[in-house]
Amino acid sequence: MKRKQPNLKKALRKLFYITILIGIISVIAIKDTDAFSKNKEQEVSYREFLTVIEKNKAEKLGIIEMSEGKIYLTIGDKEKDKKHLIKYVTQANPNDSGISDLIKKYDIKYAYVVPVNMIGTIFNLLFYGLLIVMFWSFIMPMIRSKNSSSESSGAKDSIPKITFDEIGGLSEEVKNEILQTQKLIKNPEKAKALGLKPSKGILLYGPSGTGKTLIAKAIATSFEAEFIATSGSNFVEMFAGLGAKRARDLFQKAKKNAPAVIFIDEIDAIGKKRSNNGAYSNDEREQTLNQILVLLDGVESTENIFVVAATNRLDILDDALLRPGRFDYKIKIDLPDIEGRKEIIAIHTKNKPLDEEVTSRLSEIAESTSGYSGADIESLFESAGYHAFTKGQDKITMEDINYGIDRVVVGNAGRKIKDKATKERVAYHEAGHAAVSALLFPNSIRKATIVPRGDALGFVAQIPKEGLLPREQLLNHLKMIVAGGVTEKMIFGSHSTGVSDDFRKAKEIIEKMVSDWGMGEKELVPSFSDKDKEKQMESIYVQVIKDTENLLQENNEYLHAVAELLLRKETVDGIEIENLKTQQKTDEIDVIEEV
């Protein structure tokens, strides 16, 4: 049903009457304030003006001096006999103090006046008055109408058709927890027999892009319920009371369309912890939050209303929102593991034409996308498809996949490096990373490139391994990180500013090893003082640099081979780097046999 729009004729009539009222008030104000316009004033010379004062000293006198230099004299009682008030006017003489002396002598009432442009004042009064009238007559109804329409447009009055089988990336534990919660809600009598209170809501939390909205829709599907969605930011309004009203309207709508699932995304926008300091509180937000809490408490199991909320920041939610009886079940939706990523990849490649190489390397792509959310993986394949389309291909190749991964991780490609010296330095820097990575972590490289992307002039894309990392593996990872700078120093005599990000990453890992993980020089004993921590960190860093130098010197030919390949091709696949390592070993064996 469409909401009626504000009655234009009624608003215009109201505006007309208020304008006439302001006009009448303005005329009265002009008539009343222009006291000098009622009686004629007699203009006299300055000397005559002084004489008039002397002659009428027994009367009630008043002197008004205007800022532009005119002086007015009134004879008579203005309050009792305004009509017969006698007035004289003259021009002030700045070199004479006669009037000042007479004022003191006869105790004459004196006032200094800065004249006001009454016409301008009344015009301003009319102008701003009309603006206020127009605001309340037209703008406010529009705002209310917009609030209502946006509320209705944000709510999806339909039963979704998505099921949990269509959502990839969820761990079995999460699926089971959600399904068990559903059983409890669908069987309130059985739950009641066990002394369990019916749940009113579920709170889904975790990183963005992990499918929380899809899960909420799947819950609505399983309940065969209307899905009414909104966002926490929709409740935040600049006008007091509108947020609370919108919350009431939302729950009222759910009752009318029951069974219904209310989904509040980004609930942290309205459900942040309330401040105890009044100076920093947000009354409108807190009022809206209080209203939502009241509405949650008022939901009965017989009403067939269920609330699902989602947030990326569980830690900042108000305690009252998290207490039992409101969101009884808090389920973490984490980033998918490798099996979850395989499921998501299968969903997003279902209807896409893939090259045979891509099909055979889907498991490798799943490994390469560690830390990706479902939304990131979807974006990856969209970017890959776009890249294939722009090149006029019929199928998505591995080159397109690499393009998609790089775009998600480091951004768009930049201009190629033209300066020969810079290009050579970048090539050796990345060759250092790639060589050490291939030597210490076989088959860990997806590709290496010296084509700039984002802020990086080049990079080595690794295939990350999931799981716990022992100390030895962390030390090897540090060697790979510092290898670029170490290689620059070996080849060019000194390193460049391009190592800044590498050093920052290495320092962060070493600091955690010493402070948090007990992996310093004294294993299983974390550092308890700044001086000891700094000493251990420096010792680890120096040893890592030394070990990396030794490793690169021992494999000097392999390092040069990788650098030359990068200079020639600019982008090298991980398999080529591994094959190059195998070729180097074969060449070494041949040399030994010849000797």
Catalytic residues: 430
d(CA 448, CA 571): 6
Q: Specify the DSSP element, H or E, that contains 521.
A: none
Q: Which amino acid is at 224?
A: E
Q: Which amino acid is at 310?
A: A
Parallel, antiparallel, or unpaired: how do β-strands 70-75 and 61-66 relate?
Answer: antiparallel
Please give the backbone phi and psi of residue 516, each rounded to the nearest 5 degrees, phi first.
-105, -30
Query: Tokens at residue 309, please?
Result: 């909320």
d(CA 529, CA 533): 6
Residue 74: CB atoms within 10 Å: 21
d(CA 558, CA 297): 68
Q: What is residue 308's DSSP assignment?
A: E
User: What Å distances lie between residue 241 and 74, 265, 294, CA to CA?
Assistant: 56, 21, 15
d(CA 326, CA 345): 36
d(CA 65, CA 102): 14
d(CA 533, CA 72): 87
d(CA 121, CA 113): 16
Q: Are 302 and 334 in contact (CB under 8 A)?
A: no
Coil/strand/helix, residue 77: coil
Residue 310: alpha-carbon gap to chain centroid: 16
The per-residue b/e assignment along 569-590, b for 16 or more CB within 10 angstroms, e otherwise, is: ebebbbebbeebbeebeeeeee
User: What Å distances lie between residue 216 and 164, 201, 211, 225, 404, CA to CA?
Assistant: 10, 11, 9, 11, 29
Cα angle, residue 542 at apex, residues 540 and 543 outer, rounded to 5°: 65
Closest CA to 159 of 245, 95, 224, 212: 224
Query: Tokens at residue 96, please?
Result: 């004479």
**Burial class (CB within 10 angstroms; exposed 0-12, middle 13-18, buried 19+) of 159:** middle
User: What Å distances lie between residue 47 and 50, 51, 60, 95, 108, CA to CA?
Assistant: 5, 6, 20, 13, 18
Q: Are 516 and 536 in contact (CB under 8 A)?
A: no
d(CA 171, CA 333): 9
